[in-house]
């Protein structure tokens, strides 16, 4: 097998499908991540995200997800918007959720890439992943040289910052592998200093159960009163640690039409959000990741900000 030719074919097709960056690493046990993940879980930093405890071994070894796996192809897709919400007093939505739910958009591209590999290289086995399965996507993206893990635990790309979705194909085909790059955070602690709820407990360690994204999306019960007044007006997700990151001065608007904001959402005023009806919610967020919190959850979040 011509590893070099196959690698080039795959990377070229991934770019043609719209992925901004592609890197490949050898499918093997994530030695460095194992103790970190165990520690994070033992300290209950996953809060009520009990699914994080599931499939511990599979999270660390892609060969348990795809038997005979040889390569993990990591890809980044930019979601940085060209416009933001107009009313700066209105409750805020994380930029990743402005457009169509990224799971659908990316799954389609990944399936097309998998099909391309089968047609142009041969009968391979593989699976596509977009953060809805036990895959440590940031670890694989780091291993394949797409960036380094910042102190806010996000993957940062030297050319374009961190407003990216990460996706993988795990396949049983040997390819040429990329290596990691160095960490360029230096002594900067802007993300740690800016986090409204002090969720970044130390460099590279985020207590998920203290994160605004956790409270506004994952938590299904009432938001605890001790974080009242600390949400910096976020009603769905939070971008603070990315917005303050100096590397995001290199962010450029995405070129994926599906990520454009849903029907007039950016024009909503504070009053529009406070008076939103279930009918409007269903219309505006028909294909959006915001559906995850459901209408009742979004109303709870908006009320909590008052």
* pLDDT tens-digit map of 240-260: 999 999 999 999 999 999 999
Question: Among residues 297, 295, 275, which one has the least CA distance to residue 285?
Answer: 295
Q: How many CA atoms lie within 13 A of 190 on its CB side?
A: 14
Say how many CA atoms lie within 13 Å of 88 toward its Cβ.
Answer: 1
Gap between the Cα atoms of 283 and 269, Å rounded: 17
Q: In whole angstroms, give the CA distance from residue 59 to residue 181.
A: 22
Parts of the chain with a pLDDT under 50 = none
Dihedral sign of CA atoms 148, 99, 134, 168 in order: negative
pLDDT score, position 43: 86
DSSP letters of 34-83?
HHHHHHHHHTTTTTT-GGGGTTHHHHH-GGGTSTT--EEEEEEEE---S-
Catalytically active residues are: 131
Q: Do 141 and 76 touch, CB atoms closer than 8 A?
A: yes
Q: Angle formed by the axes of helices 102-120 and 3-16, to 10°?
A: 140
Average pLDDT score, the chain: 95
Q: How many residues does the chain have?
A: 306
* Buried-state track 171-206, b at ≥16 Cβ within 10 A, e below 16: bbbebebbebeeeebeebebbbebbbbebbeebbbb
Distance (Å, whole) CA 291 – CA 114:
28
Rounded to whole angstroms, the Cα distance separating 185 from 97 reads 26
Give the integer Cα–Cα distance in Å for 282 and 267: 17
> For residue 1, what pLDDT is reported?
64
Asked if 214 and 291 touch (Cβ cutoff 8 Å), the reply is no
Q: Is 31 helix (H, G, I), strand (E, B) or coil?
A: coil
The b-or-e profile of 96-130 (16+ CB within 10 A means b, else e) is bbbbbbbeebbbebbeebbebbeeebeebebbbbb
- Residues 93 and 236 sit within 8 Å (Cβ to Cβ): yes
Joined tokens for residue 116: 């391309």
**All residues at 6 or more sequence positions from 259 whose CB lies less than 8 Å from its CB, including other chains:** 79, 81, 98, 99, 100, 102, 105
């Amino acid at each position: 097998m011509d590893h070099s030719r196959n690698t080039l074919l795959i990377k070229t097709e991934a770019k043609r499908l719209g992925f901004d960056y592609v890197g490949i690493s050898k499918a093997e046990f994530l030695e460095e991540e194992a103790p970190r993940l165990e520690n994070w879980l033992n300290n209950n930093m996953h809060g009520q995200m009990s699914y994080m405890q599931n499939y511990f071994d599979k999270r660390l070894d892609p060969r348990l997800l795809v038997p005979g796996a040889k390569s993990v192809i990591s890809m980044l897709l930019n979601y940085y918007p060209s416009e933001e919400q107009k009313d700066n007093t209105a409750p805020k939505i994380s930029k990743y959720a402005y457009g169509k739910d990224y799971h659908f958009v990316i799954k389609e591209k990944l399936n097309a890439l998998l099909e391309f590999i089968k047609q142009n290289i041969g009968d391979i086995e593989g699976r596509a992943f977009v953060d809805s399965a036990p895959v440590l996507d940031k670890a694989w993206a780091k291993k394949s040289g797409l960036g380094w893990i910042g102190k806010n635990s996000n993957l940062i790309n030297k050319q374009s910052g961190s407003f990216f979705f990460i996706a993988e194909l795990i396949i049983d085909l040997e390819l040429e592998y990329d290596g990691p790059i160095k960490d360029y955070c230096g002594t900067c602690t802007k993300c740690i200093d800016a986090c409204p709820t002090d969720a970044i407990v130390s460099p590279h360690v985020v207590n998920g159960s203290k994160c605004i994204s956790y409270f506004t999306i994952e938590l299904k019960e009432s938001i605890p009163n001790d974080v009242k007044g600390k949400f910096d007006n976020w009603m769905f997700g939070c971008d603070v640690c990315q917005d303050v990151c100096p590397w995001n001065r290199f962010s450029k608007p995405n070129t994926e039409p599906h990520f454009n904001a849903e029907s007039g959402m950016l024009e909503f005023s504070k009053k529009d959000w406070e008076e939103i009806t279930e009918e409007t919610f269903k219309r505006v967020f028909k294909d959006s990741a915001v559906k995850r919190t459901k209408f009742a959850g979004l109303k709870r979040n908006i009320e909590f900000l008052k």
